């Protein structure tokens, strides 16, 4: 396990903030302040997070055929372990490789760990569906809802979608507040989203159109972080939730 190659060969330490009851969370290699916390905050170092994530996944009977580690953001506030579960699913004409990504936060937030089902489509598209958030690594490596996610995606492939439904779908994603008059900027975004969705044969293709669009709005400054926490990630999760709620009853 080479932490240096992954940019994770450093530790986090708590340093008291003068005249307060709080502490700064600081990287020991460059002095970068990752966040702050109270005395109750328990630091989990990168090496321990990685080992515990892999061990917990193994205990949940996953076949860990491969894994990767690294920083979610450039600062190191969040780090990740992505585990290849060895499972490949077929949705419509696409093969999808299933992974679980566990993200650990070093910034002092109460919820320290999050997990995502990370899917890699044979066409090259990638997307995440968030699962659980917890202080405990063991609780976020269960992948209990992964079966439900894949079943939903398979159901999408068997359902058609009309032009009016695409219009409503796009409006929900760009204008979730439902404002009757949207700004010119949002109107342009909506047009681009509808163009990305195109004329899909089914809802799975419509969902892939959203993934394509979401890829285009990732910030060049920090594309990795936007996979999990940015507007791109939020749009994909919103699209998945909308299709589930409105069409899979």
- Res 220 pLDDT > 70: no
What is the band of 162 on the pLDDT scale with cuts at 50, 70, 90?
Answer: very high
Q: Find which of 118-127, 135-144, 159-168 is predicted with most confidence, using mean pLDDT.
A: 159-168
Which strand (E) or helix (H) includes residue 95?
strand 94-105
Neighbours of 208 (CB within 10 A): 23
Q: Which of 57-66, 146-155, 156-165, 218-227 is the least confident region?
A: 218-227
CB atoms within 10 A of CB 214: 26
Mean pLDDT on 36-62: 90
Burial 85-121 (b: 16+ CB within 10 A, else e): beeebebbebebbbbbbbbbbbbbeeebbbbbbbbbe
Instruction: Give mean pLDDT, residues 149-171.
Output: 95
Q: What's the rounded Cα separation, in Å, for the pair 138 and 72? A: 20
Cβ(225)–Cβ(72) below 8 Å: yes
Confidence of residue 197 (pLDDT cuts 50, 70, 90): very high
Distance CA 165, CA 240 (A): 15
User: Is residue 144 scored above 80 in pLDDT?
Assistant: no
């Amino acid at each position: 396990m080479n932490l240096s190659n992954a940019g994770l060969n450093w530790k986090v330490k708590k340093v008291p903030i003068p005249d307060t009851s709080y502490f700064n969370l600081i990287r020991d290699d460059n002095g970068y302040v990752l966040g702050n916390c109270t005395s109750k905050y328990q630091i989990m170092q990168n090496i321990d997070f990685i080992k515990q994530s892999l061990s917990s996944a193994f205990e949940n009977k996953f076949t860990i055929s491969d894994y990767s580690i690294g920083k979610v953001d450039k600062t190191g506030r969040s780090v990740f372990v992505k585990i290849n579960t060895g499972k490949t699913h077929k949705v419509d004409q696409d093969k999808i490789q299933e992974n679980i990504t566990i993200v650990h936060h070093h910034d002092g937030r109460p919820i320290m760990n999050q997990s995502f089902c990370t899917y890699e489509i044979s066409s090259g598209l990638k997307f995440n569906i968030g699962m659980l958030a917890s202080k405990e690594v063991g609780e976020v490596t269960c992948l209990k809802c992964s079966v439900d996610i894949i079943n939903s995606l398979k159901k999408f492939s068997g359902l058609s979608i009309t032009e009016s439904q695409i219009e409503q779908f796009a409006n929900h994603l760009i204008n979730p507040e439902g404002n009757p008059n949207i700004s010119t900027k949002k109107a342009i975004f909506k047009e681009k989203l509808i163009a990305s969705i195109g004329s899909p044969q089914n809802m799975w293709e419509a969902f892939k159109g959203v993934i394509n669009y979401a890829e285009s709005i990732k910030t060049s400054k920090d594309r990795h972080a936007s996979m999990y926490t940015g507007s791109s990630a939020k749009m994909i999760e919103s699209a998945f939730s909308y299709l589930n709620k409105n069409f899979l009853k």
